[in-house]
Structure 1
């Protein structure tokens, strides 16, 4: 079922029951069981937490429970009951509100569904219960939800860009005049409850620490004294998944990478930090003079890309024979390394797989893990055009340049 576009289906004509029947009293003080994942003037996208082992869900709406917000009432008694129903949600579950519970569907398999053909600016009350393999469970606490006014304004959905860092998504949107700031929400795809990301003063934000392999939706709303009652939440963004590390790189590096070796000792980070980046694998050694000549050139290239916000990372693979030589050489490098201790197997396997018999050697892998350059040592590769080519998944082709003065070490 397409929960965003498909109206609620009914397996049989709506059944009506007196309000207050089959309500789970134990859940009266919990958060609303049904939330509005999205609302507009004529429909509500309803969602509730999925229940493990559920066979079906039954969704009910309280028919004629309350009247249109701001509308005139024919009876003061009805108006009073409507106000009580809005202020005290529990009343509708005890028969004190106007109307009857009507079953919209008793055979829902999804925990997210859109109810259409509603009136604008109107509150509606819904409740849901679950059928497991044995029987129907009691109804959960009902929820009072509102359709929007026809006069509100809505921003376009935020745009997103994935990549650039592991677990990171960058969002942007068009500015709204007189907005003091923007509130940002997110939810995991398939979830029904929005979570607050925060408020930002500009028109973009970078959300970090997202879980690779999962997809997320985002929405945004302008806030401020001049826009608070006019603007509502934007439609949500397309699903965005933070980059994950290609399997070939995960096998190549193991689980951890060294960040630095200094007075405070060895520091390490997870290999997933490489996800979404163009990755260079730099085989080198302190005892190799051409290596020591090329390394500062490569470091300048690396720092330039990092300073420009480019997703480019290098992992040092040492061919030194002693730990002290590795640490001394690595201290001059601004990038990562396969750790000396515990990384022997990864270093040896990598050298065999790519037939590394001389250094310096710089392998370039695209964001998808494809080997783009078998050896990018040389000044012709140390330019931004080369990175752009790698970012697009293509080898860089340019004439000229040489290998750090010529020669290598075997």
Structure 2
């Protein structure tokens, strides 16, 4: 199932349509007129670039709170990392995202799962605490774990234990996982 965020009008810095499939996504609510945002954006950019160098599947989506398209473009093109943005012309979609995720102040960085559900609203603190590339990878690993959904991946062994028999049938693996959960009363 594709993420509902994939239906958003996402653009890269060149204005081309962006793709978030197979990536851990964080929504970045920010604006050029916001001093804390302008202070945080360079740290987020460094965090993002170190993860990309490590080959991590991350994507940031900038959700602008700017008042004009000129302000949005200037801020996005000059100060942001090489990530995506919700097209500035999609005002309804940007407002709906702010409401959906309960954004009451900026900057705000919210990590979401493949269904668009928030899994971490402490992204800003995680980025601020990642003072080295190794720390960035460690923070990202926590995001990746929280955003993952075992029901969407077939796995490689029944029961998830090493040494368990392998199964080539994704449905059998899912059934075994569900049966194990039911046994535990979960």
TM-score, reference length from structure 2: 0.69
| 1:269 CA displacement | 1.2
CA RMSD between the two structures: 2.0
Q: Which residue of 1 aligns with 2:95?
A: 348
Asked if 1 retains the 8 angstrom alpha-carbon contact of 2:109 and 2:123, the reply is yes
CA distance in 2, matches of 1:267, 1:350: 20
Asked if 2 retains the 8 angstrom alpha-carbon contact of 1:367 and 1:391, the reply is no
Q: Which runs of 5+ in 1 are unaligned?
A: 1-243, 261-265, 396-410
SS at the partner of 1:317?
strand
CA distance in 2, matches of 1:283, 1:356: 8
Asked if 1 retains the 8 angstrom alpha-carbon contact of 2:34 and 2:106, the reply is yes
Q: Which residue of 1 aligns with 2:12?
A: 259
Asked if 2 retains the 8 angstrom alpha-carbon contact of 1:245 and 1:274, the reply is no
Greater Cα radius of gyration, structure 1 or 2: 1
CA distance in 1, matches of 2:76, 2:84: 9
Bigger share in strand: 1
Q: Map Cα deviations across residues 320-372 of structure 1 (whole Å, 9 max, x no partner).
A: 1111110110012121100112x111101011112212100000013454311
Alignment of 1:385-400 (within 5 A): 385-393=138-146
Alignment of 1:249-328 (within 5 A): 249-250=5-6, 254=8, 256-260=9-13, 267-270=15-18, 273-328=19-74
| 1:311 CA displacement | 0.3
Q: Say yes or no: does 1:372 pair with 2:119.
A: yes
Asked if 2 retains the 8 angstrom alpha-carbon contact of 1:282 and 1:317, the reply is yes
CA distance in 2, matches of 1:369, 1:393: 12
Bigger share in helix: 2
In structure 2, the CA distance between the partners of 1:394 and 1:318, relative to structure 1 (3 Å rule), is closer
Q: Which runs of 5+ in 2 are unaligned?
A: 149-186
CA distance in 1, matches of 2:106, 2:25: 18
| 1:394 CA displacement | 6.2
Q: Which residue of 1 aligns with 2:2?
A: 245
